[in-house]
């Protein structure tokens, strides 16, 4: 029985789909970034791709945070409960919506696009109705909001999941997967101004193959947040919760996820905790997936992806005898395709794709060591 994860080429944006052996599906983020009338836009047609594998309902749709590159176009694709104008018969229903608490609590003035505001309304509606939602983190601000809406906290507390626990209802025995919550922390939401990237949803998924293969979803975490996660995990002696066989590289290959204060010259040197996360906790043969645009040749580009970060992840690839793939470069820069990772009893492998030249090679060419 195999599971698989698909990472979609969307430029500097995130959408990943887990398909379990029991046919359940978990979607992480939805960002339809393609410009339909631009024939030179190589980003994939996300609705068309999802329609190939999703019939009428997705078991879980999880949003790491409400930035455009994680939610764009979701209100055009999904059946939303809070307003009939989002309830066309061809829309896909969301059985369970997962959101960090910050999405419910952000001010509209801090949300720069309509889809983020619509997601906020949908999440609030579901929580008010006490069903079909999980909210991650239990900050005081959330309790205050529930009180302002005359909602008894005890009636919805079963829908709220804190960092440091597994998500209820998802076990390796029953579903073939479990999710351990690393973030958000309540204090990141209770700050006077919510910093979206600090309050994002970060998880480790463990699968039921013979090796208990693990996936780490990094969302848009910067190095400070990753350091907090590492320090807290070590404090509670839960180092296994930060092992990974598949790494979703944070923030589209930004150097700020390695060391937000020092880009470095030629290559970013990660801070101590992040180095440990990648170099110690990464397992032999690990797969690193970078959801980003093509890596630039120059080292002075302001926006990610950053060449300096890319050079570091290539070092980790070598160290782990693994594979490092950029979504907009696989299998080629000219025609990127979804990256499909198969999880079975042999471990984790990238499914080969057929190109005009034949099968794409998955194994990196030998390079000098770190």
211 neighbors 205 (Cβ within 8 angstroms): no
Q: What is the pLDDT of residue 113?
A: 83
State residue 106's pLDDT score.
86
* 301 in a structural domain: yes
Contact 318, 309 (CB under 8 A): no
- Determine the pLDDT at residue 44: 97
Per-residue confidence (pLDDT) for residue 355, from 0 to 100: 64
d(CA 171, CA 53): 23
Q: How many domains does the structure of the chain reveal?
A: 1
Q: Cα separations (Å) of 281 from 242, 244, 278, 285?
A: 6, 6, 6, 12
What's residue 222's pLDDT?
A: 96
In a domain, 283, yes or no: yes
What's residue 189's pLDDT?
57
Predicted local confidence at residue 108, as pLDDT: 79
Kindly tell me the burial class for residue 4, based on how many C-beta atoms sit within 10 Å of its own C-beta (0-12, 13-18, 19 or more): middle
Whether 368 is in a domain gets the answer no
In sign, the C-alpha dihedral spanning 310, 313, 318, 323 is: negative
Domain of residue 203 covers 3-359
Q: What is the pLDDT of residues 312-353, one digit of tens each?
A: 999 999 999 999 999 999 999 999 999 999 999 999 999 988
What pLDDT is attached to residue 370? 44
Instruction: Report yes or no on 260 lying in a domain.
Output: yes
Residue 365 lies in a domain: no
- What is the C-alpha separation between 62 and 29, in angstroms, rounded? 6
Would you say residue 164 lies in a domain? Answer: yes
Query: Residue 47 and residue 54: Cα distance in Å, rounded?
Result: 10
Evaluate whether residue 24 is within a structural domain: yes
The encoded tokens of residue 352 equal: 């080969």
pLDDT for 166-191, tens place per residue? 999 999 999 999 999 999 987 655 55
pLDDT at 194: 41
CATH number, domain containing residue 331: 3.60.15.10
Structure tokens at 201: 């949803």
Residue segments in the chain with a per-residue pLDDT below the cut of 70: 1, 187-198, 355-370
- Inside any domain, residue 369: no
The pLDDT score that the predictor gives to residue 326 is: 98
């Amino acid at each position: 029985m195999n599971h698989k994860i698909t990472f979609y080429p969307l430029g500097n944006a995130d959408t990943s789909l887990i398909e379990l052996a029991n046919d359940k599906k978990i979607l992480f983020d939805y960002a339809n970034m393609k410009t339909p009338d631009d024939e030179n836009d190589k980003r994939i047609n996300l609705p068309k791709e999802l329609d190939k594998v999703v019939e009428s309902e997705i078991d879980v749709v999880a949003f790491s945070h409400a930035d455009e590159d994680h939610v764009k176009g979701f209100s055009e694709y999904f059946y939303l409960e809070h307003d009939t104008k989002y309830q066309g018969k061809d829309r896909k229903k969301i059985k369970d919506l997962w959101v960090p608490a910050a999405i419910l609590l952000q001010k509209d003035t801090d949300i720069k696009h309509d889809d983020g505001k619509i997601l906020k309304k949908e999440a609030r509606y579901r929580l008010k109705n006490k069903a079909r939602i999980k909210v991650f983190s239990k900050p005081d601000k959330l309790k205050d909001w529930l009180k302002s809406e005359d909602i008894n906290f005890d009636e919805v507390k079963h829908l709220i999941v804190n960092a440091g626990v597994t998500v209820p209802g998802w076990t390796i025995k029953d579903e073939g997967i479990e999710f351990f919550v690393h973030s958000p922390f309540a204090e990141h939401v209770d700050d006077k101004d919510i910093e979206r990237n600090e309050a994002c949803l970060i998880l480790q998924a463990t699968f039921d193959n013979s090796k208990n293969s693990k996936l780490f979803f990094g969302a848009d975490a910067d190095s400070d947040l990753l350091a907090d996660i590492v320090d807290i995990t070590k404090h509670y002696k839960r180092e296994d919760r930060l092992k990974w066989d598949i790494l979703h590289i944070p923030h589209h290959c930004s150097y700020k996820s390695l060391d937000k204060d020092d880009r470095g010259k030629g290559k970013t040197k990660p801070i101590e905790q992040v180095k440990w996360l990648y170099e110690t906790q990464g397992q032999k043969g690990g797969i690193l997936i970078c959801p980003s645009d093509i890596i630039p040749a120059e080292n002075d580009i302001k926006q990610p992806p950053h060449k300096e970060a890319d050079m570091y992840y290539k070092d980790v690839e070598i160290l782990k005898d693994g594979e490092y793939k950029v979504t907009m470069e696989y299998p080629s820069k000219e025609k990127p395709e979804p990256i499909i990772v198969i999880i079975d009893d042999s471990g984790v492998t990238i499914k080969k794709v057929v190109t005009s030249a034949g099968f794409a090679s998955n194994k990196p060419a030998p390079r000098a060591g770190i």
